[in-house]
């Protein structure tokens, strides 16, 4: 499923609707957007990408939400980012953070351990 299709499934998402990461993490992004949608607020995507082998999701917290809901919103995003540390960014299977001999970080399964 390309990132374009992920965003197409979530009409509340707007803004920077692309992701600079491999396809293995798209399911994490999809799950995250599904949970955020339950708040019924616009989902302002600022940036989605990979940094040092970890998924980085930058989505604005809606100012119209009560404080508790804002915290839940942010927890959902953090949970998706943490899940990326156990998810191969190539295939979506269980993985772990690895470092290449040249110092590049990536979270990969055993099959895709060559970074
Ligand atoms: Zn893999």
The pLDDT of residue 110 is 97
Q: Is the pLDDT of residue 1 over 80?
A: no
Region 79-102: mean pLDDT is: 97
Provide the b/e sequence for 77-92 (b: ≥16 CB within 10 Å): beebbebbeebbbbeb
Q: CB-hemisphere CA count at 13 Å for 96?
A: 1
pLDDT tens track for 4-53: 999 999 999 999 999 999 999 999 999 999 999 999 999 999 999 999 99
The Cα–Cα gap between 107 and 59 comes to 22
Give the distance (Å) from ligand 1 centre to CA of residue 51: 18
Region 98-104: mean pLDDT is: 95
Region 81-96: mean pLDDT is: 98
Give the distance (Å) from ligand 1 centre to CA of residue 33: 23
Give the distance (Å) from ligand 1 centre to CA of residue 98: 12
Give the distance (Å) from ligand 1 centre to CA of residue 10: 26
Give the distance (Å) from ligand 1 centre to CA of residue 104: 16
């Amino acid at each position: 499923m390309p990132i374009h299709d992920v965003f197409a499934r979530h009409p509340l998402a707007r803004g920077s609707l692309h992701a600079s990461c491999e396809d293995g993490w798209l399911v994490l992004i999809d799950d995250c957007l599904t949970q955020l949608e339950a708040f019924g607020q616009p989902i302002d995507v600022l940036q989605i990408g990979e940094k040092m082998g970890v998924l980085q999701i930058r989505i604005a917290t809606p100012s119209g939400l009560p404080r508790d809901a804002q915290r839940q919103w942010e927890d959902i995003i953090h949970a998706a980012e943490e899940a990326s540390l156990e998810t191969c960014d190539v295939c979506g299977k269980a993985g772990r953070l690895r470092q290449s001999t040249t110092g590049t970080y990536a979270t990969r399964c055993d099959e895709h351990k060559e970074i």
